[in-house]
Amino acid sequence: MQKRKLGKSGLEVSALGLGCMGMSFGYGPAKDKREMIPVIRAAAERGVTFFDTAEAYGPFINEELVGEALAPFRGRVVIATKFGFKLDPNTGRQAGLDSRPEHIKQVAEGSLKRLGVDIIDLFYQHRVDPDVPIEDVAGAVRDLIREGKVKRFGLSEAGAKTIRRAHSVLPVTAVQSEYSLWTRGPEKEVLPTLEELGIGFVPYSPLGKGFLTGKMDENTSLDRSDFRKILPRFTPEAMKANRALVDLLGGIAERKKATPAQIALAWLLAQKPWIAPIPGTTKLARLEENIGAASVELTPDDLREIDSAASKITVQGARYPEHIEQMTGR
């Protein structure tokens, strides 16, 4: 597996990481831990060194899963986790945002225990909290770095102005936001800002929450606990309209003897050398397919063809319902 540096931070990770959220949260019932540990370990054995989790996934159980699975690889992998949600103590459900410095420090202590590590490699703010100045958030993480509990600071779904303000207090190693051929919002302001400041970029949902794999269509039935059921982009009408994007990927894939998912990931890798996508999966075969994307070479002509064709396709359906979208890009 090729390696990449996240901006000027010096943090080197595999070109493709593994997003672990879906193993415990978001896409239907949590999977059996005994089945997920071998998938995570297989990723590490195949050269993946970048693993993504969060306190809110489960909540809590995803960090425990990742910590247990990666115990044999300690010191050879980078584990990123996140703070910033208020979790209901009775149900564990997300109950708003909370990035108060005292809460950040509590979350760090819990994450260290659940992951079974002495230090958190990369600690992201999960969503920008409008009630807490980003300078205070950066200051709290700076304290944790001085205490030897955190190595590096990251932001998720932050806007360009917030990134600049945070970076002026504490260097931001990476920003994580949704980015793929059907979610290109970061290209306008975020990516130029990151390039200027020397910050790495970690696209989550690089396969469009599964849609860009070509394995979903308007007849796909989602479990009632699958959060895609509430996403406007996953209504049958939107999925039918958005198949045009999958057909585009499929045409290139056929020519390259690859799969649509591999073309979608290769396209992301070709955008900037400091981008490291984190596709998620619960299946070994999909893991191997995704890893294979790092070997797919897209020529400048291929990239021009993809961009030209994609520019003529209008993606149908909002990324999130309005109340969730309001928490992004601040």
Residue 247 to residue 327: CA distance in whole angstroms:
32
For 179, list phi and psi in degrees, rounded to 5: -155, 130
Q: How far apart are CA 86 and CA 32, in angstroms?
A: 26
Q: Which of 66, 50, 49 is nearest to 58 (CA)?
A: 66
Give the whole-angstrom CA distance, residue 69 versus residue 41.
6
Contact 111, 63 (CB under 8 A): yes
Asked whether 189 and 210 are in contact (CB, 8 A), the reply is: no
Q: Among 27, 57, 124, 204, which one carries the catalytic annotation?
A: 57
In angstroms, the CA 124 to CA 292 distance is 28
Q: Which of 145, 317, 144 is nearest to 237 (CA)?
A: 317
As beta bridge partners, residue 78 has: 50
- 57 carries an active-site annotation: yes
SS3 at position 40: helix
- Phi/psi of residue 59, each to 5°? -75, 170
Q: Whats the size of the chain, residue-wise?
A: 330
Q: How far apart are CA 164 and CA 273, in angstroms?
A: 21
From CA 57, how far away is CA 26, in angstroms rounded?
8
Residue 229 in tokens: 């059921």
Mind telling me the catalytic residues? 57
